[in-house]
Amino acid sequence: MTSLHSSRQATPRSASPRWRQAMPVNPRSLALLVALLALILFNVAITPNFLEWQTLSVNVSQVSTIAIVAIGMTLVIATGGIDLSVGAVMALAGALAPLIFLSEFGQQAPLAMTLVAIVVALAVAVACGLFNGVLVSRFGVQPIIATLVLFISGRGLAQVLTNGNLQTFDNPAFEFLGAGRLLGLPFQGWLVVVIALVVAWVIARTRYGRYLLATGGNPQAARMAGVPVTRVKLAAYTSCALLAGLAGLITVAINSASDAAKNGNLMELDAIAAAVVGGALLKGGKAPIAGVILGAAIIQLVRYTLLANGVADEVALVVKAAIIVLAVYLQTPRGAH
């Protein structure tokens, strides 16, 4: 049943020839879909209680944050960059929101202040993205170094803000982000669907999408053709940080608690892995959103499969690494076409 959820998102690229007439069926998305189906069948056969609504809910709820961050990461990777700061931005946004709605003002007008908390947290995330983007596009700092700044300091800042304490709260309106349900499925799952469809549409149909892929495909040629390369990159890093901030809020809402030390920890790796497995090229120029969602789903399901069958989390990490290696191998051009 998990397949239903994922295959629906695959439609923009793999099933509808109108989106990409050059590739009626994208072989990569198809391969990913087959891999996902194989995983599901494998689980149906051996994992106890796999075919239950509960299992689907748990998986959707857990894959959502990875998927949301991975979509943003894909935009940055499409420009030929990388964003290591997404986990730290999650922690920062996740720490800020409870601080605001738990404050004295927050207690006086809970609903309004919850809204303010979300907006402020996301605005700070956007500011982080602008910081990354300006370093990369204006000052020409290597993306991996530029985003390392916030990777280190962002989480530190979040811990300073919360004095390193776990912030627990009881705020039903806010918790809807992580625990709410629509048509029986977690709210954040639907959020992923909406975000993926919007971003895929932007990439396929808008001027910005074309500029984004041109920038990653050959930055010098793009600039010569009048593409505003600086602004395109800035927008990619900003969108990535915004999505990371949103994922940070969701994680906090799921747990009804904010832990600045743990929120989004190692998320950058999961997001990059999902993007690479999904077919994003690290040299830029590709943004296969459907593939990336499938990639996130596969990574999540592999982890779930191992955990549900009593394999330790540490081993699951090794398997995850193996999947990434395989994906990179498939991506490497070999010999003649």
Least distance in angstroms from the C-beta of 247 to another protein: 26
Q: Using CB under 8 A, which residues numbered 232 to 261 contact another protein?
A: none
Closest CA to 196 of 274, 143, 94: 274
**Residue 220 within binding range of another protein, rule CB under 8 A:** yes
Least distance in angstroms from the C-beta of 227 to another protein: 7
Closest CB to another protein among residues 169, 201: 201
**Residue 218 within binding range of another protein, rule CB under 8 A:** yes
Is residue 221 classed exposed, middle or buried when 0-12, 13-18 and 19+ CB atoms within 10 A define those classes?
exposed
Q: Which two tokens stand for residue 20?
A: 């990409």
Considering only residues 184, 226, 310, 333, which one is a binding residue for another protein as defined by CB under 8 A?
A: 226
Closest CB to another protein among residues 139, 184: 139
CB contact set of 227 (below 8 Å; sequence gap of 6+): 211, 214, 215
Q: What are the distances in angstroms from CA 216 to CA 182, 211, 236, 274? A: 37, 9, 11, 19
The whole-angstrom separation of Cα 84 and Cα 47 is 34
The whole-angstrom separation of Cα 224 and Cα 243 is 31
Considering only residues 5, 28, 155, 286, which one is a binding residue for another protein as defined by CB under 8 A?
A: 286
Least distance in angstroms from the C-beta of 281 to another protein: 9
Considering only residues 227, 250, 267, 301, which one is a binding residue for another protein as defined by CB under 8 A?
A: 227
Considering only residues 214, 234, 275, 280, which one is a binding residue for another protein as defined by CB under 8 A?
A: 214
The whole-angstrom separation of Cα 72 and Cα 67 is 9
The whole-angstrom separation of Cα 124 and Cα 88 is 12
**Residue 217 within binding range of another protein, rule CB under 8 A:** yes
**Residue 112 within binding range of another protein, rule CB under 8 A:** no
Chain residues in the site for another protein (CB under 8 A): 21-22, 205-208, 210-211, 213-214, 217-218, 220-228, 285-286, 335-337
